[in-house]
Amino acid sequence: MSSEGYSSDLEVLSKMMASSELTESVDSKFTSPEDSPEHSVAPSEVGAGKEVFDVKLNAQMVNGKSDGSIDAVLEGSGHHCSTISPEDASNDPMLASALMSPLQAPLNIEALFAPSRGGRPPLQRTPTILQRADTVANDWELYKRAGPRFPASIEQLIMKYHQKNNNSWQLAHDMGAGSGIYAMNLARFFRHIHVSDPTQIGLSTSRNTLSEWSTANPKKRGRFTFSVCDPEQSTQAFADASVDLVVLMDSAHFTDAEATVRSAAQTLAPGGTLAIITHKPISHVVGNEKVAAAVAALFEAWGRRPWEVACGLEAKSQQQFSLGLDFVPLPEELFVRDKSTRITINAHGRPRDYFHVPGVQEETDSTPLMGLESPDELFEMTTSRVGDKERQVHYGEEDEQGRGWRYEVGWESFRTRIAVMDSPQTVGRLEPELKEIERLIMRTSPNGVKIVIEWAAAVVLATKK
């Protein structure tokens, strides 16, 4: 197409938009041509060609109403109004296409981030179990899909940290994404999400998952691209200083942590956020000691299977996992020291006590334990990389973060999790323990059906210099 024809088409398109009386709203991911620190791509509304409702992250109360702060967005209320003329639209073909595309209502996440009432834990339903197990490539994907959903509280923690220290919502990188489950969460906030995984199988799984999601949600803001890439070599996928947020979910212990962190830092823009999260592969019952003891007995009888799926079979990955995320370095020359934050959630005690993989040698405060096969193994033993000036925070049952990792489940959820991750023979072997849990819930639970379980998690948040 000639440049004259292209300009003519855009002129016609801009006139169409100027005369449009459509009242619905369009996704906001193209509402601002610039990557402005004053705007986010959180939920927005557009009167076609006339008004753009975007989010100002430093917004104030106007006439007693929120005009669109990130807090208001996370709570599902408040928008900021600005104007885009047809001329502005005609200068940006992508914006013009967005304004002429089918329109949608703004994303409402009020329920997602609403605080709990009366101090009660915001109990969630049992995690959805994969229905088509034959479509999943490996044990790791089964583990991810059978495990707990990432709760709204962890999303709120990451996004508010990012908003405070960066405030740009253009590009996020879901590193080591596996099935791409968390990329769908990132799509609520960022214009574009790049999804990477070390293997082609993992990337294919991720692409299929996100293709299905995009088909079912054609007007959501986030869009995806993919690459096969080791976390240690993420610089291959990006220009330096171009990424706003890098996340690494449940897989940092499989990596060379030093190389991964440095690679991520090279791609992050100044003020960009590095977020690393992991959770313990087994849950704990709260508020019912008898059932808690029975569930602990079930996991002990089950053996090492959940740990081996979560941590792999290599000694290095198991040693790293045993430290929570304390093995992750945050070099002072790369990250703002007084903003680096290490968080434990529902981990009662040191991470190395609570995340410790059964049977793995660990380092004591004074000297490594004996029993290693060679001096090389002793030299390679994973140690804590927590800096003296790094902020450390713990959240428990008295905090929204701690309660966010609680779920209300029935006894059958334990059977389902074992069935997904293990063999029918194992389920049969553990039938007495499962029946005992059912019996105790019926006798001791207030409703005779449900109990509350909680998961422990560790989080690292850091801001690029």
Interval 107-152: pLDDT, tens: 333 444 555 444 444 454 433 333 333 333 466 666 666 678 889 9
What is the reported pLDDT for 6? 45
Cα(108)–Cα(44) distance, integer angstroms: 10
The residue among 345, 343, 344, 339 whose CA lies nearest residue 462 is 339
Calculate ∠ Cα 462-256-165, nearest 5°.
Answer: 10
Residues in a beta bridge with 244: none
Q: What is the mean pLDDT of the chain?
A: 74
SS (H, E, C) the chain: CCHHHHHHHHHHHHHHHHHCCCCCCCCHHHCCCCCCCCEEEEEEEEECCCEEEEEECCCCEECCEECCCHHHHHCCCCCEEEECCHHHHHCCHHHHHHHHCCCCCCCCCHHHHCCCCCCCCCCECCCCCCCCHHHCCCHHHHHHHHCCCCCHHHHHHHHHHHHHHCCCCCEEEEECCCCCHHHHHHCCCCCEEEEEECCHHHHHHHHHHHHHHHHHCCCCCCEEEEEECCHHHHHHHCCCCCEEEEEEECCHHHCCHHHHHHHHHHHEEEEEEEEEEEECCCCEEECCHHHHHHHHHHHHHHCCHHHHHHHCCCHHHHHHHCCCCCCCCCCCCCECHHHCEEEEECCCCCHHHHCCCCCCCCECCCCECCCCCCHHHHHHCCCCCCCCCCEEEEECCCCHHHHHCEEEEECHHHHHHHHHHCCHHHHHHCHHHHHHHHHHHHHHCCCCCEEEEECCEEEEEEEEC
Give the mean pLDDT of 41-60: 36
Q: Taken in order 278, 282, 288, 289, is the CA torsion positive or negative?
A: negative
30, two tokens: 């193209």
In angstroms, the CA 152 to CA 232 distance is 28
pLDDT confidence of 209, banded at 50, 70, 90? confident
Q: Which of 85-94, 97-106, 302-311 has the lowest mean pLDDT?
A: 97-106
* Least confident piece of the model among 217-231, 314-328, 366-380: 366-380
Domains of the chain: 14-111 (no CATH), 133-463 (3.40.50.150)
pLDDT digits (tens, 9 = 90+) for 359-393: 887 544 434 444 444 544 444 567 889 987 789 99
pLDDT tens profile 150-166: 899 999 999 999 999 98
- Rg (alpha carbons) of the chain, rounded to whole number: 24
* Closest by Cα among 56, 42, 79, 36 to 188: 42
Q: Which of 234, 231, 179, 227 is nearest to 205 (CA)?
A: 179
**pLDDT at residue 250 above 70?**
yes
Threshold 0.85, pTM exceeds: no
**Each residue of 275-293: b (16+ CB within 10 Å) or e?**
bbbbbbbbbbbbebeebbe
Which distant-in-sequence residues (6+ apart) come within 8 Å of 225 by Cβ?
192, 193, 194, 195
Cα distance between residue 221 and residue 209, in whole Å: 17
What single letter denotes the amino acid at residue 214?
A: S
Q: What is the mean pLDDT of residues 221-230?
A: 89
Q: Exposure of 195 by Cβ count < 10 A (0-12 exposed, 13-18 middle, 19+ buried)?
A: buried
